[in-house]
Structure 1
């Protein structure tokens, strides 16, 4: 059963949930329903930190608000524990798509690490197939409710492990069965993309796209490594790219900045930043600039012309949705519908879909926004 999201009304009177949206940075093991965790944990005899769904939801939120990526990642021990068999994987994937569709997402790339779901004896290929079955069911469920959504898997290797080559080969093997891209995730500091250079070379040789977590818990060297050693087409978060942007001076009307060579390269090539504002606050990724949304460099990137996108990262841990993130940004930076539409068009342009499909997504976004403007008499 689909869980209807909380509605977030924009200044225009339009609800953010009604906007056609794209989610590029959305972790499968970070988007479970608390009720589902409770039920699946009971079946396998796994002891949870809270007995009921509301208590569990509160535990995730408080645990994730640590200001540390390492502590934030510990909450995934619980979600992964109930995703170790076909039933758990398929159900979680199915509900994940249902919840995306209920939030108005028309295309989502769902990232997860198969190597973390093998403790009950499933193989890497079996877990990918189980997740794809759930995703397919979720798409069918959405269609039955009159919602249109398309999804793709981003197969992730854990950067502190030594299985990247194997996982890269897994991703390519399933490229015709729902897998659209590759990622590395986990503890960023001390585990650079160069450690997996062979896997990234293999992906490039097979013309298979990669997005890499970089610029979240580590700085410019990590971003540089993602681009040079990982051949990344997008940056997972990438928020610390702002370290390469210096505010030279400002007056009442203008801010003058100096953009470093790395940041200029990212901007000029249209390399997307998969920004996740709420998550970036929780993990301390923007601590160099402050601890509130007003301090987030999102608007700086946007005003300078970077290819910014808006993402939830982990909907359970951050208690968020794509719509909520858009609403928070709109309130903080006075964005209007044109701005929110641009964020979605940015995302459409960098999905790991064929060009023709990206064009169709962009048209669907434009048509959807225009229909809402007309319905609400918004110019």
Structure 2
């Protein structure tokens, strides 16, 4: 029977905060403890409790991270993290340069995973830890220090690079990915009071960007009927082609869970599905990818390949000021268009009410033959000019000799 660790264990939120303060990803911390990243995810969300020797090792590691955070000055910690990032990135680059197999594919090694974790999880895929730091400017203690423009610019500068790359994996189109992200931020700026009070502003914008990118109306646009140049690597082309062949809901669920790193409840909520439906979509999507690319049967390997596929594309978003002003111009244009349409509709209604007839005039029936007597032939209905002439003749006084009229006897 396993017992809880003797070392005091902090609550789930504090566990995640200590890991983020040490600039560690779930995979890095899991490798130190000797478990999987999914196990660490369960420990940090409170779905499971660390037990046994692994739990004791995990508790000691968290306590050491807390002690280091108290002792290490902030500027020293930033320099140390930056130096470790550069060293891990260079090691990963050398590993990828020497890890090409005979088929021209890149071997995913431990050093490669570590480098991609430092470079991809924070700047490409937007993990939940990064999103928590992105939501920091909207905490109540900082709300008075930032203007709405500054808060929006901070959110855009943090989320847009990773969000463009994620949207590219959804659509396979670079220009469409940029347009979808900019459109999402236009909507966010129009509804900024709601977005600023949201618990996860980055998730709010991400959901809108995914909806814009997966809109079925894009198929009717002429420039989106021609395919864009695929990635240069053959394995990356196969992976992107496999993703695009998945149904949009499966593709979105796979990207949120295995690419972004959301939990199953968060993925189900963002895709507007139940947890069971999200789990089924994720299972079928993984099976479809593994059927075509057996190397990606492991979810952890699939995550690293998604990170690399997104990071190789040089996708840049516009400046925050440009996006904010474009959103304001778009809002002014549609507001004026709505006002002009309303005025035109009111004018047309008033004109119709002014010129419409006020009473019903039945049509003249056709003549019928009665006892073999044909109907009298009479002129047809008078035209407008003939009616005016008749009314004029009736109003004028008769001239000349008065016509003799028979008088009754």
Give TM-score, length-normalised by structure 1: 0.31
Higher strand share: 1
Higher helix share: 2
**Larger RCO, structure (CA 8 Å, separation 6 or more):** 1
Higher Cα radius of gyration: 2
Give TM-score, length-normalised by structure 2: 0.29
